[in-house]
Structure 1
Amino acid sequence: MNEEVIPILHVKDADAAATWYARLGFGKQWEHRFEPGFPAFVEVARGPLRLFLSEHQGDARPGTLVYLRVRDVDAVAAEFGVTVVDQPWAREVELRDPDGNRLRVGTPAEAG
């Protein structure tokens, strides 16, 4: 087992959030509910990268910021219709998911 950190993001509708994250290349891995009709807890993954999307109150704060390093930030910018900003450390875009969680997505300068 590899040790890892998995950010948890609060979402109102896990299915809608998983669909939005699919635009970033994340696929739904599994979903858990204690009982039908209870809040969902979902894992989405993009290769080795993982996020937990939780409908449970108190699992995460609204407006959380996650930094995502990708090989091709230009493809992400094209998918979301946003402009890439050149920083000294990376080329980046900033996105907000449907629940207001912030994602800064970048390709490191040395990878460009």
Structure 2
Amino acid sequence: MECKRIVPVLRMLDVEKTREFYLDFLGAELLGEHRHEPSMPLYLFLSLGGCELHLSEHFGDGIPGANVRIETGGVKAYQQSLLAKAYRYARPGLEKPPWGGLEMTVQDPNGNRLTFFERES
């Protein structure tokens, strides 16, 4: 067996706040969305810096409070670009964990945490 990639499915409770957070604040790209019919839950497909994330209103598709770690480069520059947006619900800081590297954690409107990290070079 060879694993190709991991696509986390995170629970979404507020569609408009979720769109604002992921698309406007984080800068994700909307790849697509799906509903079986207009009154059914929404499922979003997003791309964020080459990482694919799915967000779902479907009961049972994840639980709020998940923590996803995303390895990346340029965490400090990304953090500065987010601060420059003056988003009223998040002002992410940088941390140097005891195991090394640099991290920035943001919490989405659904209680899910995204930790962007880079390893020490």
TM-score range, shorter chain: 0.7 to 0.9
Deviation at 1:104, TM superposition (A): 1.2
Report Cα offsets for 1:13-57 as digits up to 9, x if no partner.
Answer: 334313312232311100000001211001000243100100001
Q: State the alpha-carbon separation in 1 of the partners of residues 35 and 20 from structure 2.
A: 18
Instruction: Provide runs of 4+ in structure 1 moved above 6 Å.
Output: none
Q: TM (normalized to structure 2)?
A: 0.79
Q: Which amino acid aligns with 1:35?
A: E
* Mapped contact 2:14–2:109 kept (Cα < 8 A): no
Q: State the alpha-carbon separation in 2 of the partners of residues 52 and 101 from structure 1.
A: 12
- Correspondence for 2:88: none
Q: State the alpha-carbon separation in 2 of the partners of residues 18 and 75 from structure 1.
A: 23
* Mapped contact 1:85–1:91 kept (Cα < 8 A): yes
Of stretches 60-69 and 6-15 in structure 1, the one that deviates more from structure 2 is 6-15
Q: State the alpha-carbon separation in 1 of the partners of residues 75 and 61 from structure 2.
A: 29
* Mapped contact 1:14–1:53 kept (Cα < 8 A): no
Which structure 1 segments of 5+ residues have no match? Answer: none
- Correspondence for 2:106: 95
Q: TM (normalized to structure 1)?
A: 0.85
- Correspondence for 2:86: none
From the two aligned structures, give the one with the greater strand fraction. Answer: 1
1:1-112 superposed matches below 5 A: 3-22=4-23, 23-78=25-80, 79-80=82-83, 81-87=91-97, 88-110=99-121
Structure-2 change in CA distance of 1:29 and 1:64 (3 Å): same
**Superposed CA RMSD:** 1.8
Which structure 2 segments of 5+ residues have no match? Answer: 84-90
* Mapped contact 1:14–1:54 kept (Cα < 8 A): no
Identical positions, percent: 29
